[in-house]
Amino acid sequence: MSLVELDSGKIRAEFPALSREIRPGVPLVYLDTTATSQKPLRVLEAMERYYRWHNANVHRGIHTLAEEATAEFEGARTKIAEFIGAQDSREVIFTRNATEAINLVAKTWGSSNLKEGDRIVVSEMEHHSNLVPWQMLSAEQGLEINVLPVTEQGELDLREWERLLNKEPKIVCFTHMSNVLGTLNPVAEMCAQARDAGAVSVVDGAQSAPHLPVDVRAIGADFFAFSGHKMCGPTGGGVLWGRAKLLNEMPPFLGGGDMIKRVQMTGFEPNEIPYKFEAGTPSICEAIGLGAAVEYLESVGMESIWKHEQELISYALEGLGEINGITVYGPEAHKRGGVASFTLEGVHPHDIAQVLDRDGVAVRAGHHCAMPLHTKLNVVATARASFYLYNTQDEVDLLVEGIGRVRDMFR
Amino acid sequence: MDDMYREFILDHYKNPRHHGELDPADISYQDDNPLCGDVIRIDLRVDKDNRIIESAFSGQGCAISQASASMLMEEIQGKSLDEIKEFSREDILQMLGIELGPVRLKCAMLSLKVLKVGAYGVQDWVDDE
């Protein structure tokens, strides 16, 4: 695929929210995509079109609208499967978000394959969504959680990783890209090593699928989870991708309509994948919205988006690094995505975010659902700026200037 | 929002009054707001009539949480524990003189929560009190 320089004017025009002002004369500088992205017109339009014209429940409907809705819904599944390089669209299970996807794996694969004393490896840079479900499962089944530590440089400790694999864990869980440090982890190597060690791998792709080309087969994970709302799609639409063989062997997740093939008063026979894991009326509109989102991202080009973000983060790390009293966490630019978490000496991150908001600059402040990582970094909270295809170097300049003003105010 | 960082709030943040710990103290209590990492500890010395003769706070957090604690320490000097019972959210907001959204309100109220729970063991503190 050829790399195309992004046309930021054209891209920004696709996102209505980016044209608004926070106060008269103060345009929005949206640097909080890691929490959720803005939505392009064609996603909003696809969702509105469904509710205006095709609104019907999916599957088993004989009438025209039901057939249209089903075609749109299943069409979205196919687009998403192609987007992540899945071999078979039946491997794409619609969930509410990455969190639900990981909980699904813990509740179904976990409860039917793990027993007391089994080991789980979880990295120290996980979002709570790829940590707490495993803690809950551990408490239920008496499992042992082994922590894969983060180094001073903000990368996974790969020597410790090999040592942990030697202890024969049953399952290993790590993020493709840290939502705090931006660190891009060597997931393909790790999944291959895990497989050799006999462990099933769960990769949290919530921060990678939106930003870089993802090929689940090349990564070699057993499960890959992501959220649609961080990649131009609506909230309420996420995906669990899993290997068909594993999914077929797993018990169902929630019980109800759609996930069954046959029901008697005394029992049921589960449906085929992916429906086995999609009980009840799914988030039809959200799936259609996510389908439109991946179509949009592909039209821009994931390689081009990644390159654009690499340029932005390099530029941002340079500018931020020159601010007195700032600490920016995480590895150097070429080892990370477009996320920069930082602290400013003598100023609480909430105050940083609040003051920046006056300049229209939207950043996040807190522990970003990664409390153990912040404990490791020895801070209670950080401020975080994150970039996407629609951000520009001018916006990075506004961020850097804004932080300078915060520092002066608290000096 | 411009109001939030008025000069006197920043002044209380940068130069907190009654900052530190009292040892010994008659009443000591600490609590935090794990969501943002604000921590406040308050130490009090009271006389035989339960009147506050000395108070101190320590901890860390945002300007709003720390400034509100500093102002509160000034406010309670010489007051009786019974009078403190009457302190409300409105008193804190009046003291700060600013309007706050729900997230920052928690920051502003942390010191009052620590004070009241410390003084009375209020178990049923609700954050929007």
Say if A217 falls within a structural domain.
yes
Exposure class string for A70-98: b at 16+ Cβ within 10 A, else e: bebbbebbebbbebbebeebbbbbbbbbb
Say if B127 falls within a structural domain.
no
For residue A349, is the peptide bond before it cis, meaning its omega torsion is within 30 degrees of 0?
no
The whole-angstrom separation of Cα A56 and Cα A73 is: 11
A130 touches A303 (CB < 8 A):
no
Q: Is the pLDDT of residue A172 over 50?
A: yes
Q: Of A277, A298, A319, which marks where a domain is finished?
A: A298
Q: CB distance from B77 to chain A under 8 Å?
A: no
Distance from CA of A410 to the nearest CA of B (A): 7
Say if A406 falls within a structural domain.
yes
**Cβ pair B5:A367 closer than 8 A:** no
Say if A1 falls within a structural domain.
no
Give the confidence band of B127 by pLDDT, cuts at 50, 70, 90: low
Give the A:B interface size as CB pairs under 8 Å: 50
Mean pLDDT, chain A, as a whole number? 96
Q: Is the pLDDT of residue A355 over 60?
A: yes
Q: Is the pLDDT of residue A411 over 50?
A: yes
Give the confidence band of B129 by pLDDT, cuts at 50, 70, 90: very low
**Same-domain check for residues A189 and A168:** yes
**Same-domain check for residues A289 and A155:** yes
Q: Of A298, A319, A353, which marks where a domain is finished?
A: A298
**Cβ pair B10:A410 closer than 8 A:** yes
Distance from CA of A306 to the nearest CA of B (A): 31
- Kindly give the interhelix angle for A393-410 and B7-14, rounded to the nearest 10 degrees: 70
Mean pLDDT for A177-200 is 98
Say if B81 falls within a structural domain.
yes
**Same-domain check for residues A182 and A117:** yes
**Same-domain check for residues A344 and A217:** no
Q: Is the dihedral of CA A363, A368, A371, A372 positive or negative?
A: negative
What was the pLDDT predicted at A60?
82
Place of tokens 């916006």: A395
Say if B128 falls within a structural domain.
no
**Which residues span the domain enclosing B29?**
2-119
The whole-angstrom separation of Cα A51 and Cα A289 is: 11
**Which residues span the domain enclosing A312?**
8-37+301-410
**Same-domain check for residues A32 and A170:** no
Say if B114 falls within a structural domain.
yes
Say if B124 falls within a structural domain.
no
Contacts of B4 in chain A (CB under 8 A): 354
What was the pLDDT predicted at B1?
46
Q: Is the pLDDT of residue A336 over 90?
A: yes
Q: CB distance from B37 to chain A under 8 Å?
A: yes
Cα radius of gyration (chain A): 22
Say if A288 falls within a structural domain.
yes
Q: Is the pLDDT of residue A70 over 80?
A: yes
More confident residue, A2 or B28: B28
Q: Assign residue B92 the CATH number of its domain.
A: 3.90.1010.10
Q: List Cβ neighbours of A14 (8 Å cut-off, separation of 6 or more).
A: A40, A41, A42, A296, A390
Mean pLDDT for A13-34 is 97
Place of tokens 């920052």: B104
What ipTM was estimated for this complex?
Answer: 0.87
φ/ψ region of A34 (left if φ > 0, alpha if ψ in -120 to 50, else beta) reads alpha
The whole-angstrom separation of Cα A36 and Cα A386 is: 10
Q: Assign residue A257 the CATH number of its domain.
A: 3.40.640.10
More confident residue, A34 or B84: A34
Give the confidence band of A220 by pLDDT, cuts at 50, 70, 90: very high
CA of A364: which chain B residue's CA is closest? B36
Looking at the 3D structure of chain A, how many domains does it have? 2
Q: What percent of chain B has pLDDT over 90?
A: 70
Q: Is the pLDDT of residue B122 over 80?
A: no
Say if B129 falls within a structural domain.
no
B43-72 residues touching A, CB cutoff 8 A: 60-65
Give the confidence band of B123 by pLDDT, cuts at 50, 70, 90: low
CA of B10: which chain A residue's CA is closest? A410
**Same-domain check for residues A20 and A134:** no
Distance from CA of B55 to the nearest CA of A (A): 24
Smallest CA-to-CA distance from A230 within A339, A336, A313 is with A339
Q: Of A266, A298, A330, which marks where a domain is finished?
A: A298
Q: Assign residue A29 the CATH number of its domain.
A: 3.90.1150.10
Q: What percent of chain B has pLDDT over 70?
A: 92
**Same-domain check for residues A239 and A182:** yes
Give the confidence band of A186 by pLDDT, cuts at 50, 70, 90: very high
Say if A2 falls within a structural domain.
no
Mean pLDDT for A261-284 is 96
Say if A312 falls within a structural domain.
yes
Say if A27 falls within a structural domain.
yes
Alpha helices in A207-331 (DSSP H): 216-219, 244-249, 284-300, 302-321
- Tell me how crowded residue A298 is: count the other CB atoms within 10 A of its CB: 15
**Same-domain check for residues A337 and A293:** no
Say if B59 falls within a structural domain.
yes
**Same-domain check for residues A357 and A221:** no
Mean pLDDT, chain B, as a whole number? 89
B4-33 residues touching A, CB cutoff 8 A: 4-5, 10, 13-14
**Same-domain check for residues A242 and A139:** yes
What was the pLDDT predicted at B34?
82
CA of A408: which chain B residue's CA is closest? B10
Smallest CA-to-CA distance from A205 within A42, A74, A95 is with A95
- Name the residue facing A350 among B2, B13, B36 (closest C-beta): B36
What was the pLDDT predicted at A88?
96
Determine whether A369 is an active site residue. Answer: yes
A236 touches A287 (CB < 8 A):
no
Contacts of B104 in chain A (CB under 8 A): 350, 354
What was the pLDDT predicted at B101?
85
Looking at the 3D structure of chain B, how many domains does it have? 1
pLDDT in tens, A370-383: 999 999 999 999 99
The whole-angstrom separation of Cα A166 and Cα B50 is: 63
- Name the residue facing B35 among A355, A357, A366 (closest C-beta): A366
Say if A103 falls within a structural domain.
yes
CA of A23: which chain B residue's CA is closest? B1
Say if B65 falls within a structural domain.
yes
